[in-house]
Amino acid sequence: MEVQWAGVEVQRMGPQHTAVGLIFPLLLGAWYVQGLEMSVGKIPFLQAVNGSTVLLPCTYLSCIGIKDLYFSWTFNENGTMQKVCDSMIVSEESKPEVNIYRERVEFIGKNIDRNVSILLWNITFEDAGEWTCFGRNPKEKGRNHSTIFTLIVVDELRVVDNTLTIIIASAVGGGIAGLMAFMLLKNFTLFVLAKLEEKNKECLVTSSGIDNTENGLSGSKADSKPTPKRK
């Protein structure tokens, strides 16, 4: 059975509409890349001794700038997110007034170099876990981003035994040094042999020249004798 469509016209997108359809996702992707980003650095965890004071780092970055940026720190306490501190940064030059909700916490970022880090004094085993740094930028239509820093609390820091590493490094270093010494000795030996061979060749050439000269002189003396005159 043949199906016929009556009164329906399929509209095809022209080159102009196609270009617009391709450019719009690219612009949207560029805007997304330039969005707010919160970062705790390249190493998102720290192992510290019970009773010490630690720094929980966090910085923000926005390619188009900020306005009334809201940020907060929260702690995951047995699955419940407990607010640690929060504040609003009006501009990149302003110093925020931070609200602290947890004991032994000090805000040290002061918005210098986009820094919103906190200091945790006299840590205990209850402080071990995930600390989340959150930010929301109204200038980017409320775009938000968060990052997690993990704190590990121990009785004492373990001393890593590097004996095996030192042995392996020494063995590898000794092997490389031995190979270099062998190559130097080989090159020196080849150099000495080449010089000896060159010297032997010079001696042979000199000896051959002396022999030829002596033979030539004796021959010339024999040929140069005058013929006796007949009387």
DSSP state of 196: H
Please state whether the predicted TM-score (pTM) of the whole model is above 0.75: no
- pLDDT tens per residue, range 122-166: 999 999 999 999 999 999 999 999 999 999 999 988 766 677 777
Select from 1.10.1660.10, 2.60.40.10, 2.40.30.40, 3.20.20.60 the CATH code of 32-154.
2.60.40.10
Q: How many CB atoms lie within 10 A of CB 35?
A: 16
Give whichever of 99-108, 178-187, 210-219 has the largest mean pLDDT.
99-108
Query: Which H or E run includes 178?
Result: helix 163-223
Residue, of 226 and 185, whose pLDDT is higher:
185
DSSP state of 98: -
- pLDDT tens per residue, range 6-63: 444 445 555 554 444 544 444 444 444 568 999 999 999 999 999 999 999 999 999 9
The ranges assigned to domains in the chain are 32-154, 161-189
The band of 184, judged by pLDDT with boundaries at 50, 70 and 90, is confident
CA 170 to CA 56: how far, in whole Å?
38
